[in-house]
Each structure stands twice: as structure tokens, then as C-alpha cells.
Structure 1
Amino acid sequence: MRSPQRTPRAVPPSDGRIGPLVRDSSLVWVASGVIGLSFGAISVAGGLPVWVPVVMSLVVYAGSAQFSAVGVLLAGGGPLAAVATGLLLNTRTAAFSLAVADLLGPGRATRLLGAHLVTDETVAFALAQSDPARRRAAFWISGIGLFAVWNAGVVTGALAGTALGDTATYGLDAAFPAVLVALVLPALREDARLRRPAALGALLALAATPVLPAGVPVLLALAGLLLYRRTEAAR
């Protein structure tokens, strides 16, 4: 990993200010912390030892995949079934990684760390920025902050156990999709070519949500990329 002293030099914002990026990222951080609390509490309340959700969050670091894997374990499924579920739900990050590959910077260690920070939220936040330098800064600021807050929330939830109750009852799980929509809208307004693929992907995901496990509809939404590629090829 890169040291804290070297990382900021690798990802400077184009205008020299990180305040607006931190402010905007904090919306996702708050939601992440709350969901992390829920994940830690649910895991321990279901009978798993504290170290399981904590280590999983550090090593796997994938919210929907973690919830699904723990759900399989608590339902009596074996470790292999839990791993297979998590891998299936996380295959979408392969496409996300390609979208931000040029933002990770040089060096094997930096790229390895950046790959670990790739999530729906960090990719959407980065690609919503106006120029390459600012996209790079947005990726690292949102990614490092999200990783720190998520894991802090998981540790707190795991230690608190059942005392927190089910945080989903507060409706804060809706914060993630709301923030993602807010990040994507500017790109859709500026580039009309993205609207049809985005609409197709959204319709496919909505249609599949009632019948498929969480995370899988997002994979189907990637079919919208095929329409975008076809549009680009026809130009």
C-alpha cells in the first residue's frame, strides 16, 4: 500500500481543492456507515463470531456480496455456497474496473489498492467529474473514505451485537441508490447517447428485481452497454 504521505500527491484535484469532493463523498460515507452497522450487528446476532464480519469487510469489501454470503451461512449453507454467491454478485465490478482503470495511477501496489476500492459508488462518483485529474481525485477520496467508514461501521455493529436492532427499519438503505442517481444525472443530461442504454439497463434491473437475488439485476443492467456500443459503432 502507498503511505498516507504519498497518496495525496498521486491524486491531486485539478483545481487544488478537495473540500467539495469530500463534502459530496460524505453523503455516501454516512449511508455506508449505517449499512455497515447493520451488517455487523446482523452477522453477530445471527450467531457468527465478531471476527467474521470484520475480516470479511477488510478482505472482501463488497456490501451486497457480504450480506448475501452471511445470509447463506446463517441459513445453514456451507462456506463454498457462500463464496459462490459472493463471487456471482461481485462479477459486475469487472466492468467497473475497466471504466476506471486509467484513474488508478502507475505502480503495481497503487493499482492493487485501487482495485480493492472499486465499488458502485466510487466508480459513479469518479465518472461524474468533469476532467481526468478530478476524476482521479474523486475516485481516491471517495474510495478511501468509504472503505474506512464502512469498516468502522461494521466493527461498531459487530461489537454492539443485537443492541442496535435492525437499521433497515429507518429506511436509510435507500440512501445508496438515491446518491447514485444524483451522481449519474449530470452525465445523462450532457450526453444524449447515454440515455437509451441507461434506460434499457434500468428497465432490465427493475424487471428482474422481484425474481432474482440482490445484486444479480445489476448484472443484467450491463446489457445496456451493448446498446451503447452498437450506437458508437454506427457513428
Structure 2
Amino acid sequence: MRSVQRTTAYVHDPELLRDVALVCLAGGVVGVSFGAIAVAGGLPVWVPVVMSLVVYAGSAQFSAVGVLLAGGGPLAAAATGLLLNTRTVAFSLTVADVIGRGRLARLVGAHLVTDETVAFALAQADPARRRAAFWISGLGLFAVWNAGVLVGALAGSALGDTDRYGLDAAFPAVLAALVLPTLREKAGVRRSAALGAAVALAVTPAVPAGVPVLLALTGLFLYGRKEASV
């Protein structure tokens, strides 16, 4: 009960709510782009809408739809999405204590584990604030993402070429803003992030899209070894 009270207390934290609003704004913009791209490519409206509710993973959804629009089958699209989502295994382990111990909390929390919610939670200073950041941003982003996808899907091809709006830069910009405080304060995190970034850049020309992100997780091994030796 005290944990819930401490978490809900942050609902009225202006700084936290401002940051959550920034994440949700980016999520909604990219969601509109995803819905529009899917429908403009020939998929029915219900496909991106249902996918966003059930799968709820932006990069996996974009990749799966890309496979479908390129003529690939459902199995190939699903395999692509699963490959990209393997990174959430590491994310889930990182925020396991933040999500909570109840069955319902774990079930819902697992569905809300994304790059953004994890980065948002880890950027906070104390456990209660991490928990609040995860749940507030997770629920808010889920709602805004799905609303954005629906709007984009209904708009269809009316938006034209979504690439010209630079919508793909919204998420990276928000993530960078969230993780910068942690990078400034912890040398071990900086070294791990540098290693992961170097690996991703090195393999980008040689591997399919999405794989560099997975290989960047090798930076976690450096951080884990550092923590174990302390």
C-alpha cells in the first residue's frame, strides 16, 4: 500500500509529467506515421490497429509491416518482429524490480516494456520515482501510440510521404534526452554505451536493419562485469 501511495504521489510531479508528455508526444507522432504507412501500402485499417494493441513494439511493427508490403508472408513478418524484440529480454530483467511482484502487475508491465519506458525509468534517481516513471510513461505511451496509429490508419495516404516530415527522428531524440543525465553521472554506463554504439556502427553496413540494435547489447556485458567486480 505504501509503495502504491509513493508511486501515485509522483502523478502530480510537474517535472516528471513534463518529461512523460514529451515521450508521449513523440510516440503519438510516430504512431500516426506507422498507421499511415501501413494503410497507404495496401494493408486494411484493422491490421496496424490490432498489431499496435497486441504487439505494441514500434520497431518490430515497422519491420513486420515492411516485410508484408515487400511481399513477404506472415511467418517472415512475425519472425522479423520477434528478432527485433529479443532485446526486451534484457530490458525486462533490468526493470523487473520496478514493475512489481503481483501477477497482474507483471503481466501488464511486461507488455509495457519498451525502449522508452525502460530508458525513462532508469533515468530516475530513486526506486519510487523509477516505478512511477515506468508506469506513468508506459500507460500514457500505450494510449497515445494506439490513438496515433488509429488516426494515421484512418488518414491513410492523405498524409503523403511521411518520411519528408522527419518523424523517424522523434524517438531517438527523446531517448537521447532521457539517458544523457545517467551518462553524465556514471562512468561505467558511459563505457558500456560507447562499446554498444561502436559495435552497432561497425556492423550496420553488413547486417539487416534492426540487428545492430541487438548487437549493441554487448555493452551490457562490460557493465555487468564492472558491477560484479565492485
| Structure 1 CA distance for aligned equivalents of residues 84 and 113 of structure 2 | 14
Q: Which residue of 2 aligns with 1:97?
A: 92
Secondary structure at 2:113 match in 1: coil
Q: Is the 8 A contact 2:95 2:118 kept in 1?
A: yes
1:206 pairs, out of 201, 204, 224, with 201
Counterpart of 1:40 in structure 2: which amino acid? G
Counterpart of 2:97 in structure 1: which amino acid? D
Q: Which residue of 1 aligns with 2:101?
A: 106
Q: Normalising by the residue count of structure 2, what TM-score does the alignment of the two structures yield?
A: 0.93
Q: Is the 8 A contact 2:26 2:174 kept in 1?
A: no
Q: Which residue of 2 aligns with 1:187?
A: 182
Matched, 1:229 2:227: no
Cα-Cα RMSD: 1.9
Q: Which residue of 2 aligns with 1:166?
A: 161
Q: Which residue of 2 aligns with 1:3?
A: none
Q: Deviations over 1:47-87 (max 9, x none)?
A: 11110000000000001100111111111111110100000
Q: Which residue of 1 aligns with 2:32?
A: 37
Counterpart of 1:99 in structure 2: which amino acid? T
Q: Normalising by the residue count of structure 1, what TM-score does the alignment of the two structures yield?
A: 0.91
Name the % identity.
76
Matched, 1:219 2:219: no
| Structure 2 CA distance for aligned equivalents of residues 31 and 15 of structure 1 | 22
Q: 1:1-235 to 2 correspondence within 5 Å?
A: 9=4, 12=7, 17-235=12-230
**Cα distance change, pair 213–170 in 1 and its aligned pair in 2 (3 A):** same
**Cα distance change, pair 13–188 in 1 and its aligned pair in 2 (3 A):** farther
| Structure 1 CA distance for aligned equivalents of residues 37 and 5 of structure 2 | 38
Counterpart of 2:94 in structure 1: which amino acid? A
Q: Extract unaligned runs of 5+ from structure 2.
A: none
**Cα distance change, pair 16–72 in 1 and its aligned pair in 2 (3 A):** closer
Secondary structure at 2:71 match in 1: coil
| Structure 1 CA distance for aligned equivalents of residues 229 and 197 of structure 2 | 23
Shift of 1:15: 5.9
| Structure 1 CA distance for aligned equivalents of residues 149 and 11 of structure 2 | 33
Q: Is the 8 A contact 1:13 1:133 kept in 2?
A: no
Counterpart of 2:194 in structure 1: which amino acid? A
Q: Deviations over 1:90-141 (max 9, x none)?
A: 0000000011111112321111001000000100000000100000000011
Counterpart of 1:201 in structure 2: which amino acid? G
| Structure 1 CA distance for aligned equivalents of residues 10 and 88 of structure 2 | 29
| Structure 2 CA distance for aligned equivalents of residues 18 and 211 of structure 1 | 45
Q: Is the 8 A contact 1:34 1:167 kept in 2?
A: no
